[in-house]
Structure 1
Amino acid sequence: MATHSLQKTSAISLDKVAGTAPDLIDMYKDAETSLRESDRLGGRAAVYLVIDRSLSMTDFFNDGSVQRLSDQILSLSAHLDDDGKVPVGFFSTEMHTIARGGLLRRPQALVDVKLGAHQGRIGQLHNSLGTMGGTRYRPAMEAVLAHYRSSRAYKRGTPAFVVFQTDGAPQDAPATRDFLRSTQGENVRWQFVPFGEAEAFGVLSGLPGNTGVSAVGSDPLALSNAELYNRLVSGLPRA
């Protein structure tokens, strides 16, 4: 994936983060350190977050693991994109659609989580979506790719960096592999973030070169921000 930034600076400054989302300052600083040490500070990307909403994810929603991941990704995105938001989607057996205010506004597959309006946002969205289901990756991937292709980032040639969180292997593994192979020509990086035991994710090995895996284990809250970022940024282009 190409990057168009020549300056090794963050898209959003620390001062702006401090004024808008002071609770994310430490995460922002940890993300900056990882980006700088890997020579990726100054790169630009449209960051997405996809969240598994299968029934087995219940405890991870309840203990705050998913909200924390969202905060971590929003903090990382502040270095990569100056819009201060991350499109977030939820999937289980199918992609969930999220209702929007107003009679004429259609439900959508992804909704923006924004700096300053992020606290508790994941729980709010999760609780609005009803029944949890199984685990099929491809519908979520199709929704993200459609969103990216219609975005300004796509038109500018800015790469998409998709953080794809899950706690189980997909029930549609062949369809998932086919889709990932078909997107190798796209300016998209699929970075999987498995919660849970490593042996459950053998399906993620041997995937095409536009994918990566950043496993966090069975207790995501025990993993430091710095360690998560060190694992994630390997999927980004160098600045």
Structure 2
Amino acid sequence: MPISLDKVQSTAPGLVDLAKTAKVSLEKRNLFGTRAKVAVVMDYSGSMTREYREGRVQRLTERILALATQLDDDGAIDFFVFDSTAAHLGEVPLDNYAGAVDRLTQGRRMGTTDYAGAFRVVRDHFGFAPPKLAGGEKKGLFGRKKKVEGAVDVALPDNLRPASEPVFAIFLTDGAPNSKPQAVQALIEVSTAPIFWKFLSIGRESFDFLQQLDDLEQRVIDNADYKPIGSIDALSDEQLIDALLDEYGEYVTEAKRLGMLA
């Protein structure tokens, strides 16, 4: 169940208005009262230096934490980064969120942009099994039609046990990955885990590659949506929440139909 607005007010009053906005957005989509484990997956490459130094990543993390209060009751979000490798750095808690990004990234060196590692480290952190290979032709879901040559199809395990809640992973980047083929294959692989990926890009132009990931056919479910947001601070709270929740409800419905979620 979500954290009550009264508790948000008493614990983190600076986030209560955004939590109210998140509640309204969830209610509009008939999602209020549903549960998810929320995670942020942040690009920590060298080109992101200014976004961290000027506090924009911290502010985005706080806004996502406010959304998480209406999806989960543990009062924290998991914080992952990807650079030349990917790692889970800890949690951003509701009762101590100020400065959390600087604390968690302290001592870590910025590097390149390992999307594939990020996809897999999130799956592994939450304890989801790796996929099995699929045989034969398999049609994509939701009318998807982008099939990538050389990518290996996967399938859900025969003894699949539905998860009680999905992971809602919000993935922010400002550049293309180290290896596009590896990123494609990794996203296909993690489509067998109940993780919904919201890709956000910053910068002047949208990324064709993130749209390609959004459209991949070989996945067992459409597990991603891409939104170019330009500047982290440009969107209002309502615009940001609406962008984050777009396609999430459809994902949950389909994951339940496939037996991935209870």
Instruction: Using structure 2 for the length normalisation, give the TM-score.
Output: 0.76
The equivalent residue for 1:196 is: 203
Any gaps of 5 or more consecutive residues in structure 1? 1-9, 97-108
Superposed displacement of residue 127, structure 1 = 2.9
Q: Retained in 2: the 8 A contact 1:189–1:211?
A: yes
**How many correspondences in the alignment?**
213
1:212 aligned partner, one-letter code: D
For 2:192 and 2:162, locate their aligned partners in 1 and report how far apart those are by CA, in whole Å.
15
Give CA deviations for 1:19-64 in whole Å, capped at 9, x if unaligned.
Answer: 1111111111121122122222222111111111100001111221
Q: Retained in 1: the 8 A contact 2:90–2:104?
A: no
For 1:146 and 1:235, locate their aligned partners in 2 and report how far apart those are by CA, in whole Å.
24
| 1:205 lines up with 2:196 in the alignment | no
| 1:237 lines up with 2:249 in the alignment | yes
Q: 1:89 aligns with which of 80, 102, 106?
A: 80
Superposed displacement of residue 155, structure 1 = 7.5
The equivalent residue for 1:171 is: 178
Q: Secondary structure at the match of 1:59?
A: helix
| 1:145 lines up with 2:123 in the alignment | yes
2:229 aligned partner, one-letter code: V
1:164 aligned partner, one-letter code: F
Q: Retained in 2: the 8 A contact 1:28–1:76?
A: yes
Larger Rg: 2
Q: 2:11 aligns with which of 20, 34, 42?
A: 20
Structure possessing the higher relative contact order (Cα contacts under 8 Å, 6 or more residues apart):
1
Superposed displacement of residue 124, structure 1 = 2.1
2:239 aligned partner, one-letter code: E
RMSD (Å), alpha carbons: 2.0
| 1:113 lines up with 2:119 in the alignment | no
2:192 aligned partner, one-letter code: G
For 2:112 and 2:192, locate their aligned partners in 1 and report how far apart those are by CA, in whole Å.
29
Sequence identity, in percent? 35
Moved over 3 A (4+): none
Any gaps of 5 or more consecutive residues in structure 2? 129-160, 217-221, 253-262
Q: Retained in 1: the 8 A contact 2:44–2:82?
A: yes
For 2:105 and 2:14, locate their aligned partners in 1 and report how far apart those are by CA, in whole Å.
22
The equivalent residue for 2:111 is: 133
For 1:221 and 1:149, locate their aligned partners in 2 and report how far apart those are by CA, in whole Å.
33
Instruction: Using structure 1 for the length normalisation, give the TM-score.
Output: 0.83
Give CA deviations for 1:148-193 in whole Å, capped at 9, x if unaligned.
Answer: 126xxx9852111111111111122111111111222221111111
| 1:52 lines up with 2:36 in the alignment | no
